[in-house]
Amino acid sequence: MKAFALVITSDSVFKGVVNDEITPIVEKALEEGGHQLVHRAVVPNDVYAIREAVADAASRADVVLVTGGTGLSPRDVSIEAVKLISSKELPGFGEVFRLKSLEQVGLNAMLSRASAFLVGSSLVFVTPGSPQAVRLALELILPVVDHALAQARGEPHRH
């Protein structure tokens, strides 16, 4: 069992204008996968708020899922925020995410900047904020999380 944290970046969810549709999706997938959601935060689309929330989440969990802020609008700053505190980027996650997204949303998939990072010894996955995107991200993350964490932490592993 791995400990997961969720950081939702959304001005509208933060202000209470829109309901959080993401947490139930994450909780269900983690429960089915034998993992646990140990921390959750909702923050506005602000580089500093996101950076602080992700740093805090990474200190509490093995894996952090950041949803929202991966597009092209001026308020989409999740990638920039996480890069500030990361030691490594894992571009393979974003590449596979966009490939799989192509099947679901067509060429708009190339507009996503989804990626993954190492923050301390925690994996941080940054995904679009739609329920469909979060489901896809979890389908990609959960099968590899144990192996990825072992590598990130310098533990012996098989290829």
- Report the pLDDT averaged over residues 127-149: 97
Q: What is the pLDDT of residues 140-149, one digit of tens each?
A: 999 999 999 9
- 59 is a domain residue: yes
Q: What is the pTM of this model?
A: 0.96
pLDDT for res 159: 60
Question: How many structural domains is the chain composed of?
Answer: 1
Q: Is residue 156 part of a domain?
A: no
Q: Mean pLDDT score of the chain, rounded to an integer? A: 96
Task: Specify if 86 maps to a domain.
Answer: yes
In this structure, is residue 155 part of a structural domain?
Answer: no
**pLDDT tens sequence across 65-89:** 999 999 999 999 999 999 999 999 9
Residue by residue, DSSP assigns 25-75 as HHHHHHHHTT-EEEEEEEE-S-HHHHHHHHHHHHHH-SEEEEES--SSSTT
Is residue 90 included in any domain, yes or no? yes
Q: For 14-47, how does the pLDDT look when each residue is reduced to its tens digit (9 = 90+)?
A: 999 999 999 999 999 999 999 999 999 999 999 9
Does any domain span residue 60? yes
The CATH number of the domain holding residue 29 is 3.40.980.10
157 found inside a domain: no
Is the pLDDT at 158 greater than 80, yes or no? no
Judged against a pLDDT cut of 70, whether residue 109 lies above it is answered with yes
Indicate whether 158 belongs to any domain: no
Domain range holding 83?
3-150
